[in-house]
Chain A
Amino acid sequence: SQKIEQNSEALNIQEGKTATLTCNYTNYSPAYLQWYRQDPGRGPVFLLLIRENEKEKRKERLKVTFDTTLKQSLFHITASQPADSATYLCALDMTAGNNRKLIWGLGTSLAVNP
């Protein structure tokens, strides 16, 4: 069955640096891969979606890459700020017909220190 791995250890970086988070998966590539942010005690919030035929997607300070050969997505936050501190989840969209299915990683906790 499909599995996802995200960095299990928390990531601590200095304000202004680039944070890079990893999402690796096994087996076959999904049609879409999504990244979400989750703050403590809140629901996840959608950030970016990348399709299997796209190599890179950007939104403001965020960048996502998708390498189907390596079976990996990287999520970058440039010029990081303390407000970026949160847990970041990746999700593989394995939807087929009406069978709506996202497979979720456990998330990586990011702390940006001032």
Chain B
Amino acid sequence: DVKVTQSSRYLVKRTGEKVFLECVQDMDHENMFWYRQDPGLGLRLIYFSYDVKMKEKGDIPEGYSVSREKKERFSLILESASTNQTSMYLCASSPRRQPQHFGDGTRLSIL
């Protein structure tokens, strides 16, 4: 079974902090994704990567950056956390043109 592991289930940070969310997949998938999910807004794509060191902006990249130095790991960085970035963050991976496999999410609160 594919496993996508997110480093934390719950995280509380302060405004202005630099926040790192880590995601690791164990199935050698080319594609990896970061989403945030908010009530009434659904899943929104922040960034995705289709190869090591490659990244593409999604629909809401502002305030975020990503890093993919190794194929199995995709990191999301909040450069200077703000309260409007409080959300559920979901990481996913997939082979090319195949359905996505999700982690269980990180519920991030910015105080």
By a beta-carbon cutoff of 8 Å, the part of chain A in contact with chain B is 34, 41-46, 49, 89, 93, 95, 98-102, 104-107
Contact = CB atoms under 8 A, between A and B. Distances in A.
Interface of B: 4, 31, 33, 40-43, 45, 48, 50, 54, 56, 90, 92, 97, 99-105, 107
Main secondary structure of the interface of A (DSSP, over half): loop
B87 to A, nearest CB: 13
Main secondary structure of the interface of B (DSSP, over half): strand
Among A43, A99, A104, the most chain B Cβ lie within 10 Å of the Cβ of: A43
Given A98-B56, A105-B42, A43 B50 contact: no
A98 B90 contact: no
B42 A43 contact: no
A95 B105 CA distance: 24
Contact of A100 (B40, B48, B103, B104): B48
Nearest to B99: A46
